[in-house]
Amino acid sequence: MRALIQRVSEASVTVEGNRIGEIGPGLLVLICAMQGDTTEQADHLAAKIAKLRIFKDDAEKMNLSVRDIGASALVVSQFTLAADTRRGNRPGFSTAAPPAEGEKLYTYFADQLAAQGVAVARGKFGGDMQVRLLNDGPVTIWMDTDDR
């Protein structure tokens, strides 16, 4: 699985003019299931993100996790994280999980992040979403379970 994590002051997702998810301070997690990904990888990624120490402590050092500060996460599916740009100018997405599998892993990942003690808001899998965020820092982290 691939994830792009952004520390945000606020974030929201809107579908067809309706705001379906929003958070204050916390994490925006853009997530993509790749072909062959498993629930074990989703478990690992959810645990890692819940404990990722990218929030400032009293000494202004990035030493606290989203759980430590009681913040939330907005989890948004984004198959374009599977983009292959090695050839030509049009990205290919053939390494992304098929839609049914991707949706299952997206939902499972969001549930596992919530099970880690993080309040989770969600986007709409496969939806045409408008995501608004105020990146804090900016802090943006790339994670890929294939890099373990």
In the chain, the amino acid numbered 103 is E
Whole-angstrom Cα distance, residue 97 to residue 79?
8
Candidates 14, 38, 39, 80; catalytic one: 80
pLDDT of residue 147: 80
pLDDT tens digit sequence for 90-139: 999 999 999 999 999 999 999 999 999 999 999 999 999 999 999 999 99
Residue 62 region by backbone torsions, left for phi larger than 0, else alpha for psi between -120 and 50, else beta: beta
39 labelled catalytic: no
Considering only CA atoms, which of 117, 127, 20 is closest in space to residue 72? 117
Please name the CATH architecture into which domain 2-135 falls.
Answer: 3-Layer(bba) Sandwich (3.50)
Domain range summary for the chain, segments of one domain joined by +: 2-135
Whole-angstrom Cα distance, residue 20 to residue 115?
21
The reported pTM is: 0.96
Whole-angstrom Cα distance, residue 11 to residue 146?
28
Average pLDDT over every residue of 54-63: 97
Whole-angstrom Cα distance, residue 74 to residue 68?
17
In the chain, pLDDT over 70 holds for what percent of residues? 99
Instruction: Calculate the alpha carbon distances from 2 to 19, 60, 61, 77, 100 in Å.
Output: 25, 29, 26, 10, 17
